[in-house]
Structure 1
Amino acid sequence: MTSWLLLAEAGAPEGGLFDLDATLPLMVIQVVFLTFILNALFFRPIGKTVEDREGYISISRADAKQKLAQVERLETQLTEQLRGARQQSQHLITEAEQEVDRLYREALAMAQAEANTVREKSRQEIEIQKAAATQSLQVEADRLSNLIVDRLLASR
């Protein structure tokens, strides 16, 4: 190393495009040394941090994809359950409407039958009262006619 320093001190002709003297190897050594120092102090920790972040991002991305797939699966299942529930509720509504219609028809039939029964009883009562009134009027008419005949015969 001393020989290089002596060469660096020796006078070299100046003025050329490139001066090749002992400073070139010294600069190369400094650059290599600084590269190792910078690599050890700055680039490795920053590289490790970047790699950790990339690992975290890739893990987070994989988790997100997995959760997204799970959400899509659950969404599909819930859609199917909702479709089934809608069909079941539609079926129940149809059955309820049919049951209400059947009960309405039964109630209407019972009401009509009861109305017919009441009407028939009323007609029979009216017939009985009509017959009684006719009988009463017949008796009264016979009595009045007998009275008229008796008066006519008595006045002659």
Structure 2
Amino acid sequence: MTQWILLAAETAESGGLFDIDATLPLMAIQFLILATILNALFYKPLGKAIDERAGYVQGQLDQAKKQKQDAIALAQQYEQELREVRKESQNVIAQAQAEAQKIVSEQVQQAQQEVIAERQKASEQIEAERKEALSALEKQVKALSHQIVEKVIGAEFAK
């Protein structure tokens, strides 16, 4: 190639400002060869690396968008599940309170019935003791009245 350049330089005549001879096509050919060599050695691998990097970045962006959408969907799902769990827990609490209230009211009723039964039993016992006391008093009254009658009648017979 350098021979062509030297040959072209020897055959060229020096003329005016621009000489149009074999140097112009030779320079164009050198430029194309240099561009081809640079393209093959530097630009294609560099372009390939840039394309790979752009593809990697785009893939990462797409993956990040997908993960973001998945995260949003999971967050919404968890929020919905949390709402449902809260509702269920409120229902369970309400049921437990109702059951506790029912148990308390049943126990209060049972205690009231026991108190009423105890009161009635005590009242019956008092009534029985009153009757017993009245019958004992009645016997004593009869005995005393007999004694009084005997003393009064016996004293009248003695006079």
Question: 2:132: which partner in 1?
Answer: 132
Q: What do the CA deviations read for 1:87-107 (whole angstroms, capped 9, x no partner)?
A: 122122112211211221122
**Is 1:81 aligned to 2:87, yes or no?**
no
Q: Distance in 2 between matches of 1:70 and 1:96?
A: 38
* AA of the residue aligned to 1:123: S
Deviates more, 1:139-148 or 1:72-81: 139-148
Instruction: Give the aligned CA root-mean-square deviation in angstroms.
Output: 3.2
Deviates more, 1:112-121 or 1:133-142: 133-142
Question: 1:113: which partner in 2?
Answer: 113
Identity %: 30
Q: Distance in 2 between matches of 1:100 and 1:20?
A: 112
| Alignment TM-score, normalising by the size of structure 2 | 0.74
Question: 1:5: which partner in 2?
Answer: 9
Structure 1 gap segments, 5+ residues each = none
Corresponding residue pairs, total: 151
CA 1:151–1:20 in structure 2 vs 1: closer, same or farther (change >3 Å)? Answer: farther
SS in structure 1 of the partner of residue 65 of structure 2 = helix
**Is 1:71 aligned to 2:71, yes or no?**
yes
Q: What do the CA deviations read for 1:45-69 (whole angstroms, capped 9, x no partner)?
A: 1210111111111112112211211
Q: Distance in 1 between matches of 2:120 and 2:126?
A: 10
* AA of the residue aligned to 1:6: E
How far did 1:86 drift?
1.0
| Alignment TM-score, normalising by the size of structure 1 | 0.75
SS in structure 1 of the partner of residue 47 of structure 2 = helix
Structure 2 gap segments, 5+ residues each = none
CA 1:41–1:147 in structure 2 vs 1: closer, same or farther (change >3 Å)? Answer: same
